[in-house]
Amino acid sequence: MRVAIIAGGPSSEAEVSRASARGVAGALHDAGHEPTTLELDAGLPAELLALRPDVVFPVTHGPLGEDGCLQGLLEVLDLPYVGSGVLASALAADKNAAKVAFAAHGLPLAASVVLERVPAEHALADTLAELRSELGGRFVVKPRGGGSAIGVTILGADATPAALGEALGEVLAIDGAALLETFWEGAEVTCGVLESEEGEPAALPPTLIRARAAGWYDFRSKYGPGGSEHLCPAPLPEAVLERIQQTAVAAHRALGSRDLSRTDFIVSESGEFIVLELNSLPGMTRTSLFPEAAAAQGIAFPVLCDRLVRRAVARPRRRQLAGVPLPA
């Protein structure tokens, strides 16, 4: 099949996306397909119309590519594509909206607050006190959208009001709102979900992530050489692994996700855990977390990519309804 891989775009995660595109292109070529990589920019609609691919494989991350905008374009062009539809993509991209859906389904979450502006300098101390009262002594400041740990700051019990202002300013420079969450001490674990040909979501083996470049799984740990160690399956008690897998499937269903997703967790020493977020388009290089977990289950990367494009092509297309005439 002719497969259009879409990558890049106006996002701080564009280079991560392009790395995924190279990985997917190689895997699809190995599986016997004809991949073409296109950039997410203003020329994309014309390029897609000219290419008329059999299927589209988005590997975009961040604004426009992962938040439902690209998916809406593909719906308008009536092109089958890998991954979640418009609504599920938009929900997953907005961490606060996702948390609302997760809470409605009873999933375990950290307490959180959303702020859309930096308080005035004279109000920072009071704001910090209020946040500590609601979120605890340590909390995380992150963009409401986006990923790859870009713009994330952990504020400890000794953080000053100025540090809060600086953290909020960094987030609001790249996003319209900041999500502040209670800091959970524990291991970082992620769990992919891959749907069957019948559309039934099933969890892949969870992966335990050990950051090496920093004390937590930051951007350097995610993408720097030797920045982290991935243990898959995660060396956790079987009962904990099963609950994580069940929760990953529940998160996938809660947002109405499709084809694939990857949910991130923090797991305490006691085995309790919280859901951090769901990635509707997880990284797709050969060494990314999702393909690693698929490989641990015996699904090679070319087989995984082939399976995803074939499922997208086989999916029923959107019904084209005839317009209803206005009354005379």
CA dist., res. 90 & res. 247, Å (int) = 20
277 in helix, strand or coil? strand
Q: What's the burial of 157, exposed, middle or buried (CB within 10 Å: 0-12/13-18/19+)?
A: exposed
Q: Is 277 a catalytic residue?
A: yes
Catalytic entry in 18, 243, 258, 262: 262
Angle subtended by helix axes 69-76 and 86-93, to nearest 10: 170
**Catalytic status, residue 283:** yes
> Catalytic residue among 8, 9, 12, 13, which?
13
- 238-255 vs 95-104: helix axis angle to the nearest 10? 110
Return d(Cα 53, Cα 41) in angstroms, integer.
Answer: 17
The closest of 49, 7, 43 to 24, measured between CA atoms, is 7
65 annotated active-site: no
Tell me, yes or no, if 13 is annotated catalytic.
yes
DSSP notation for 159-209? --HHHHHHHHHHHHTTSS-EEEEE---SEEEEEEEEE-TTS-EEEPPPEEE
218 among known catalytic residues: no
- Phi and psi at 49, nearest 5°, equal -65, -35
Query: Per the residue annotation, which of 283, 288, 292, 306 is the catalytic one?
Result: 283
Identified catalytic residue from 277, 280, 292, 307: 277
Quick check: is 223 catalytic?
yes
Is 264 designated active site?
A: yes
CA distance 319 to 311: 18
Query: What is the CA angle 250-314-279, rounded to 5?
Result: 35
Give the integer Cα–Cα distance in Å for 95 and 145.
6
At 100, list the tokens: 């609302």
Based on DSSP, count helices (H) and strands (E) in the chain, helices before strands: 11, 13
**Marked catalytic residue, from 264, 288, 306, 307:** 264
Q: Which of these is catalytic: 112, 279, 280, 288?
A: 279
Contact 225, 208 (CB under 8 A): no
Query: Out of 22, 39, 220, 223, which one is annotated catalytic?
Result: 223
Query: What DSSP assignment string belongs to 7-28?
Result: E--SSTTHHHHHHHHHHHHHHH
**Residues 11, 17, 148, 288: which is the catalytic one?**
148
Task: Kindly list the catalytic residues.
Answer: 13, 148, 223, 262, 264, 277, 279, 283
